[in-house]
């Protein structure tokens, strides 16, 4: 187990998150497990396996990150672009459906979509399946669907119809929007309605 200096009220200590590519700054206190030979245990998500305490630290850190960034059924007026609130002053929010990569694979299999083969980079296969899913649904619905990353636990990507920053130009008519939503729900075999999600890639949303 990696030893870190003791934490005190006088010292703000940010540990290093050790990965296969070298050390990275970690936003929570992290320690890593070793095997019986004293070697760090590889982990596909973190580089090396975190201890149970470190996983709990990570969970608490993520909970703080998500606090105040919960999905919304309706877009509050203060997040809409206006003369008083130009786009560059607002956070970026996304309207659509959050999904997991396994849902994209299931859809691609049902629709017999051609995906990357076994000889391809395994890191690229999930996002490629997601993009193929969105492209197919885009064609079926006639809407301009986009691949986005929402800030929400338990999902990998989302199918976005539009963002708050371009809503005035992109928003569909009510009946057309309803039809697109129903097509997406039917094709993906989901029942949850679309919501507004915080964009996880937009630095101003941090």
Question: d(Cα 132, Cα 192) in Å, to the nearest integer?
Answer: 22
Task: Say whether pLDDT at 20 is over 60.
Answer: no
Question: Would the pLDDT of 22 be above 50?
Answer: no
Secondary structure (3-state) at 158: strand
For residue 17, the surrounding DSSP H or E stretch is strand 16-19
What span, in angstroms and rounded, lies between the C-alpha atoms of 85 and 90?
Answer: 7
pLDDT digits (tens, 9 = 90+) for 82-97: 999 999 999 999 999 9
**23 DSSP β-pair partners:** 18
Task: For residues 15 and 27, give the distance between their C-alpha atoms in angstroms, rounded to a whole number.
Answer: 8
User: CA 77, CA 13: separation in Å to the nearest integer?
Assistant: 40
CB 93 within 8 A of CB 151: no
Average pLDDT, the chain: 83
Q: Supply the pLDDT for residue 6.
A: 38
Range in 22-26, 53-57, 67-71, 104-108 the model is least confident about = 22-26
Least confident of 50-59, 130-139, 154-163: 50-59
Q: Which residues, other chains included, contact 63 with Cβ-Cβ below 8 Å and sequence gap of 6+?
A: none
Mean pLDDT of 130-156: 94
């Amino acid at each position: 187990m990696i030893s870190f200096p003791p934490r005190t009220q006088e010292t703000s200590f940010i540990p290093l998150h050790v990965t296969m590519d070298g050390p990275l700054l970690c936003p929570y206190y992290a320690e890593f497990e070793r095997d019986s030979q004293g070697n760090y245990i590889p982990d596909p998500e973190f580089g090396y396996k975190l201890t149970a305490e470190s996983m709990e630290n990570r969970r608490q850190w993520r909970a703080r990150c998500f606090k105040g960034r919960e999905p919304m059924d309706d877009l509050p007026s203060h997040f809409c672009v206006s003369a008083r609130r130009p786009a560059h002053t607002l956070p970026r929010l996304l309207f659509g459906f959050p999904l997991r990569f396994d849902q994209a694979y299931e859809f691609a299999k049902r629709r017999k979509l051609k995906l990357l083969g076994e000889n391809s980079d395994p890191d690229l296969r999930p996002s490629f399946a997601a993009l193929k899913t969105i492209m197919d649904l885009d064609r079926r619905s006639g809407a301009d669907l986009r691949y986005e990353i929402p800030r929400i636990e338990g999902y990998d990507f989302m199918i976005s119809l539009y963002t708050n920053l371009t809503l005035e130009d992109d928003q569909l008519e009510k009946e057309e929007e309803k039809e697109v939503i129903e097509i997406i729900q039917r094709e993906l075999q989901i029942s949850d309605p679309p919501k507004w999600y915080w964009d996880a890639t937009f630095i101003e949303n941090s």
